[in-house]
Amino acid sequence: MTDSILIVDFGSQVTQLIARRVRESGVYCEIVPFNKADEMLDHFNPKGIILSGGPASVTGIDAPRAPDRVFTSGVPVLGICYGEQTMCEQLGGKVEGSEDEREFGRAVISVIEDCALFEGMLTTGEQEPVWMSHGDRVVALPKGFKVVAVSSNAPFAAIADESRHFYGVQFHPEVAHTPRGKLMLRNFTHRISGCKGDWTMAAFKDVEIARIRKQVGKERVICGLSGGVDSSVVAVLLHEAIGDQLQCVFVDTGMMRAGEAEQVVNLFRHHYNIPLIHNDASDLFLGKLDGVSDPEKKRKIIGATFIDVFEAEAKNIGGAAFLAQGTLYPDVIESVSFTGGPSVTIKSHHNVGGLPERMNMKLVEPLRELFKDEVRVLGRELGLPEDFVGRHPFPGPGLAIRIPGEITREKLDILRKADVVYLDEIRKAGLYDTIWQAFAVLLPVRTVGVMGDGRTYDYVCALRAVTSTDGMTADYYPFTHDFLGRVSTRIINEVKGINRVVYDITAKPPGTIEWE
Ligand code: XMP
């Protein structure tokens, strides 16, 4: 069994970054909400535990706590921000709210005593830039702890009980603004917890194939393909694991991009020789969405309709016990509040939150623990063609969430054409691989224009392009004005129905990548 680290989540927006840093250093880890950690430790045996930050105050009556087992199981513990504070409070120290001396943003810590957390990078007397974000602060340490670093507003910026291997930092080593935070986390996972750092995607693939075989047994599995990277990787992985027990279905929702169906059919039927049912369900989907404009309703309807279609297909092939989905780790984490965890739900990703209770099939979700870029590495490991692996993400609900308001066939056609022009220009400019995701959005607004000698009254098209590493945070892509002008001219000239183009310059947060 590979070494692993458990991350106990107290609801920080950057908990996933801790997981990314840990995995980047070759150590497998999982995140668990604080209220499920005890249960998790029944079957998960980590070599170290990290307590995340979180929005609560340790001094509140209902403040979330780490289960006692975290501190009694004998493994090293690292508390980050809220995690440090709750560790102190739970082990007999004291934390206070500090209204006047809150610390947000860049800060500098000074090391006052050598510590394993800083080994190989910082010794006593040296300073280091870090990122702070806290209101509460530790005022008295539990027995056995000592201060190892201070900052101007945090006299307990880093603390350690080296005999029990408990460490706490008030700052966030997982964010890019703490430039050498990754090294500190690596010291915790490798030096302090003793992880070897030998976790690779090839190893993950073998473990996952064995796990799928065990889960599925001799039963049949239906796998929905969407044209995106995730579902393609799931299908190829499952094919390697269970061969003919797998039946792939490409459901054409009527809300796919131009040419999507042909590309998927080609790849699976012809390149891989994996049998594929091509189900044109566009009438069904569009009929159910008729007149619906609320984003969450759209997502729920689409999720439920997918299940209807999969269940019908399962019946056609004489029954299937499982449905395979390309659910990713960020979907699982973002949906945690559905099961009572600490973070807030922004959107119900249909492949997690929107599944109807009544579904008759059990789920196989082999990518549940992976981030997007890890899925790409796995895709390459499985021999998927580079142009498929490198594709921009495409959401399960498809173009439905790129047409705010009601969806009609006419709007879908207009949007598909604009999207083709936009992506064509991005490819020609050599920017496709630099950009995480780029797409056109059709706004439910008509504006007045003038073309030739005539007045037009047509839709507005918004263009979106973002850079990101995992879709959790994103920046808009800074196209040149020349480029934007060229795309705008081409869309207005070539796509009937659009007479105005705008560029979305919102980052995530505060925006999301998709418009709905
Ligand atoms: P947001 O819009 O939440 O999107 O910033 C983050 C990433 O997730 C994709 N996305 C989805 N993928 N089913 C999916 O498979 C969904 O329901 C869904 N909603 C958003 C989005 O395209 C972006 O890459």
Centre of ligand 1 to C-alpha 266, Å, is 25
List the structure tokens of 96: 């206070």
Atom of ligand 1 nearest to the CA of 514: 2
pLDDT for res 100: 63
Under 8 Å between Cβ of 125 and 193: no
Under 8 Å between Cβ of 229 and 392: no
Centre of ligand 1 to C-alpha 228, Å, is 11
pLDDT for res 338: 33
pLDDT for res 227: 83
| Ligand 1 site, residue 512, Cβ cutoff 6 A | yes
CA dist 313 and 308 (Å) reads 9
pLDDT for res 355: 57
Report, as residue numbers or ranges, the catalytic residues.
81, 172, 174
Centre of ligand 1 to C-alpha 397, Å, is 9
pLDDT for res 339: 37
Per residue in 410-456, pLDDT tens?
A: 999 999 999 999 999 999 999 999 999 999 999 999 999 999 889 99
| Ligand 1 site, residue 351, Cβ cutoff 6 A | yes
Q: Which domains does the chain have, with CATH numbers?
A: 4-192 (3.40.50.880), 201-389 (3.40.50.620), 408-503 (3.30.300.10)
| Ligand 1 site, residue 350, Cβ cutoff 6 A | yes
Of 463, 468, 470, nearest in space to 495 by CA: 463
In three-state secondary structure terms, 21 is: helix
Question: Does the pTM of the predicted model rise above 0.95?
Answer: no
Q: Any idea which residue has 């392009």 for tokens?
A: 465
- Which segments in the chain show pLDDT lower than 50? 335-341, 350, 352-353
| Ligand 1 site, residue 514, Cβ cutoff 6 A | yes
pLDDT for res 471: 83
CA dist 206 and 479 (Å) reads 41
Q: What are phi and psi of 500, to 5 degrees?
A: -155, 140
Choose the residue to mutate in 232, 335, 346, 349 for probing ligand 1, maximizing ligand atoms within 8 Å of C-beta: 349
Atom of ligand 1 nearest to the CA of 515: 2
CA dist 103 and 444 (Å) reads 43
| Ligand 1 site, residue 395, Cβ cutoff 6 A | yes
